Amino acid sequence: MAKLARKKKIRGGHRASATRMVTHVLDAIEHPDNPESTLTKLKQCKAALEEKLDTVKQLDADILDEVDETDVENEIGQADVFKEKVQRAIIDATSAITAKEVPVRGHSSIVTPPPPPPTLPTAATRVKLPKLSFKRFNGDLTKWSTFWDSFESSVHQNSDLSSIDKFAYLNSLVEGSAAEAISGLRITATNYDGAIAILQKHFGDKKQIIAKHMDTLINVDAVASQNNIKALHQLYDSIEAQVRGLKALGIESDSYGSLLSSVLMNKFPPELRLIVSREVKDRQWELDELMRIIEGEIEAREREHPALMQSLTRCQLEHPLLLLLH
């Protein structure tokens, strides 16, 4: 226990030191002095923060191996808060350094006024990116293709961005197992390609993605009642999302629909299955046709639902005893 207490005390010292450096970074950005001295200060703080982050990460790992199970969750939570704060400061420092190095390296004979201090209101501004609307990637294989297509076109292939800016943005857009996969890499220009390679290897394998789509289709939750319109809509959307994901990978529904149609139809209430059976004359069901019919039935129930609720409300007002039955 004495050894564990000592490690925690050492970590506390490093965290406190890093917190002071974070404050120095913010002060240098918000209240710049001489451009060259500010640039030097930012570079020093950035390098020190990267070193502190590596040190604290190692201490966190050592401490997690020794603490009681009841303290594990609290330890991880504190570690994540500290890591996010330091990484944010490193990104801020990197962006400010990039902005300040342009006039210093130019050696122009024309004296120009220094640029105004950056306000850095958002993550996108800090890395000189436009606002982007795609979602964070949490490691779900079925979401990788959509995430990567958006990231590749908006960030990865953006020639106006440096590699470290791209890495900073990538790091801010991953979470869960995706964030863990690249957590061991420092946010540097040389590590960016390595981070992309790791994510592609873990989450970009086409066979694994197809298998995950199929598994999700087979294990989607069933809906028992045809009156549960919200659940029916969610079930339909879930199936449709997997079908579209497979299609984007070049897997058409006619190549697997005959195998999964019966399985998927059993996810819907008996009343809807009966309607589908009446409308589909062929013995072999086609998934696209089944989904078209199901979609139409759900939409019809959605249109009917407000009328039924309005009718029920009128009846309850005219016959108060009905209120006791609902």
Is the domain of 200 the same as that of 218? no
Segments forming the whole domain that contains residue 101: 1-105
* Out of 100-104, 155-159, 265-269, 270-274, least confident range: 100-104
Number of domains composing the chain: 3
Confidence of residue 101 (pLDDT cuts 50, 70, 90): low
Mean pLDDT across 118-147: 65
Task: Please report whether residue 113 resides in a domain.
Answer: no
Residue, of 6 and 133, whose pLDDT is higher: 6
Mean pLDDT across 51-69: 84
Mean pLDDT across 147-169: 89
Secondary structure (DSSP) of 231-263: HHHHHHHHHHHHHHHHHHTT--GGGTHHHHHHH
**How far apart, in whole angstroms, are the C-alpha atoms of residue 17 and residue 316?**
68
Is the domain of 77 the same as that of 130? no
Question: Would you say residue 198 has pLDDT above 90?
Answer: yes
Final residue in a domain of this structure, among 187, 204, 221: 204
Final residue in a domain of this structure, among 183, 204, 225: 204
Is the domain of 198 the same as that of 212? no
Q: Which residues contact 113 (CB under 8 A, 6 or more apart)?
A: none
Confidence of residue 46 (pLDDT cuts 50, 70, 90): confident
Confidence of residue 16 (pLDDT cuts 50, 70, 90): confident
Question: Would you say residue 130 has pLDDT above 60?
Answer: no
Question: Would you say residue 73 has pLDDT above 90?
Answer: no
The most confident of 12-16, 169-173, 298-302, by mean pLDDT? 169-173
Is the domain of 216 the same as that of 321? yes
Task: Please report whether residue 63 resides in a domain.
Answer: yes
Question: Would you say residue 180 has pLDDT above 90?
Answer: yes
Is the domain of 35 the same as that of 54? yes
Task: Please report whether residue 238 resides in a domain.
Answer: yes
Task: Please report whether residue 110 resides in a domain.
Answer: no
Final residue in a domain of this structure, among 174, 204, 234: 204
Is the domain of 14 the same as that of 79? yes
Are 209 and 144 spatial neighbours (Cβ–Cβ below 8 Å)? yes
Comparing C-alpha atoms, which of 112, 89, 107, 108 is closest to residue 41?
A: 89
Amino acid identity, residue 222? A
Q: How many CA atoms lie within 13 A of 17 on its CB side?
A: 16
Is the domain of 218 the same as that of 170? no
According to the model, what pLDDT value does residue 312 have? 42
